[in-house]
Amino acid sequence: MTSRKRIGLIVNPMAGRDIRRLVAYASLQSAPEKALTVRRILAGVAAVPNMEVLVPEDEGGFFAWIQRDVQEMLPVSLVPRQSLEGDSTVRWVRMLVDAGAEALIVVGGDGTQRNVAEARPPIPVLPVAGGTNNVACYLGDQTAAGYALARFLVDGLDPAEMGRYAKVIHLWTSQGNQALALVDVAWTRQRYTGALAVWDPDDVEALVLTMADATRPGLSNVGGYVHPVGFGEDYGLHLRMGPGGAAYPVVLAPGLMAQFSLIEQTLVPLGEHVKWDVSEGGSLALDGERTILVAREETVTLEIRRDGPLILEPDRIFRALASVR
């Protein structure tokens, strides 16, 4: 009997619920709506024989609910928690990898996908849009995404030919903080994290971007008007803001249009360092969320590397499937 192929499924129940949903024209993404997203994905997976889906046990019981909701579609196994530590995307990734998942499909926004990168999964990942900002995510049909991932495993396609390793911004400060981001790091004037999300362009001093797309909302949006940068290009973009600069539009969140005053733009090759001397202090926002407080006179160093997860691209998978017929 042919052994089943195992896909690990992660859904961030809290993605798409930050303050930008209140200050913009965006709707909240409820748990039932996320369950519908899962049903669409698994309908594609279920169209391929010999598939099994692994989901992590969580404190709130969301994944157990998902398991019951889709049990008539295909086998879904709940991976038990090994400790009483709190839930996190990083922990879920490691649970699913340890349980034998051969690839991951992750529903969430850029922040969720950053957490996946922090876990450094040794298996391919298909990120599916499910947050407020989804620059690092697949935006196409969700059923097709599930089918593509299942066929990738069953057909034994070469991961290196079906995707690329993600670009990641590595940063460290002179006070010893270290972190990473998938899409953007912003130096903001605010000296607190507050509601985390950055939604006022006047707060932003500088940006480093791995991708810049004017068609997707978020801090990287402004870069799409200045110098578009794609997932596959081996460089990023450094933008400095300030009074008297050129005015550029930005879609910070769905329905929230604002304007940046840009005084400098620079392309940043992979491996090249960018330094910020934060004379007045502030905070660093990672993929749109203020995360690290920076003291006065602190120095921040940033570097873009292509050492993130291997990100599968459904269009490449479908092209490969078409070519073998």
* Confidence bin at 189 (pLDDT 50/70/90): confident
**Nearest-angstrom CA–CA distance, 95 and 142:** 24
CATH of 168-305, one of 2.60.200.30, 1.20.990.10, 1.10.357.10, 2.130.10.10: 2.60.200.30
The residue ranking higher by pLDDT, 104 or 260, is 104
Percent of the chain with pLDDT over 90: 68
* Confidence bin at 19 (pLDDT 50/70/90): low
Whether 136 and 166 have beta carbons less than 8 Å apart is answered as yes
The residue ranking higher by pLDDT, 47 or 69, is 47
pLDDT of 194: 60
Given a cut of 70, whether residue 192 has pLDDT beyond it is no
The residue ranking higher by pLDDT, 128 or 202, is 128
Given a cut of 60, whether residue 25 has pLDDT beyond it is no
The residue ranking higher by pLDDT, 324 or 277, is 277
Task: Write out the residue limits of the CATH 3.40.50.10330 domain(s) in the chain.
Answer: 5-165+308-323
**Nearest-angstrom CA–CA distance, 309 and 286:** 17
Given a cut of 80, whether residue 281 has pLDDT beyond it is yes
Given a cut of 80, whether residue 324 has pLDDT beyond it is no
Q: Which two tokens stand for residue 252?
A: 């910070």
Q: Which of 14-18, 80-84, 139-143, 274-278 has the lowest mean pLDDT?
A: 14-18
Q: Is residue 219 classed as helix, strand or coil in its secondary structure?
A: coil
The DSSP letter of residue 40 is: H
pLDDT of 131: 80
Q: Is residue 99 classed as helix, strand or coil in its secondary structure?
A: coil
The backbone region for 292, taken as left when phi is positive above 0, alpha when psi lies in -120 to 50, beta otherwise, is: beta
Mean pLDDT, to the nearest integer, of 301-312?
Answer: 98
pLDDT digits (tens, 9 = 90+) for 141-183: 999 999 999 999 999 999 999 999 999 999 999 999 999 999 9
* Confidence bin at 35 (pLDDT 50/70/90): confident
pLDDT of 31: 74
CATH architecture of 5-165+308-323: 3-Layer(aba) Sandwich (3.40)
pLDDT of 29: 66
Mean pLDDT, to the nearest integer, of 220-227?
Answer: 93
Nearest 5°: phi and psi at 214? -70, -10
Mean pLDDT across the chain: 90
Given a cut of 70, whether residue 193 has pLDDT beyond it is no
pLDDT of 196: 65
* Confidence bin at 63 (pLDDT 50/70/90): very high
* Confidence bin at 28 (pLDDT 50/70/90): low
Mean pLDDT, to the nearest integer, of 100-122?
Answer: 96
- DSSP codes joined into one string, 230-247: -TTSSEEEEEEEEEEEEE
Q: Are strands 184-188 and 256-269 parallel, antiparallel or unpaired?
A: unpaired
* Confidence bin at 252 (pLDDT 50/70/90): confident
The residue ranking higher by pLDDT, 258 or 236, is 236
Q: Which of 99-103, 227-231, 267-271, 281-285 has the lowest mean pLDDT?
A: 281-285
pLDDT of 156: 96
Task: Write out the residue limits of the CATH 2.60.200.30 domain(s) in the chain.
Answer: 168-305
Q: Is residue 12 classed as helix, strand or coil in its secondary structure?
A: coil
User: Pick from 106, 94, 78: which is nearest to 13 by CA?
Assistant: 106
Neighbour count for residue 138 (Cβ, 10 Å): 20
Given a cut of 80, whether residue 218 has pLDDT beyond it is yes
CB-based contacts of 291, cutoff 8 Å, min separation 6? 179, 193, 196, 283, 284, 285
pLDDT of 1: 46
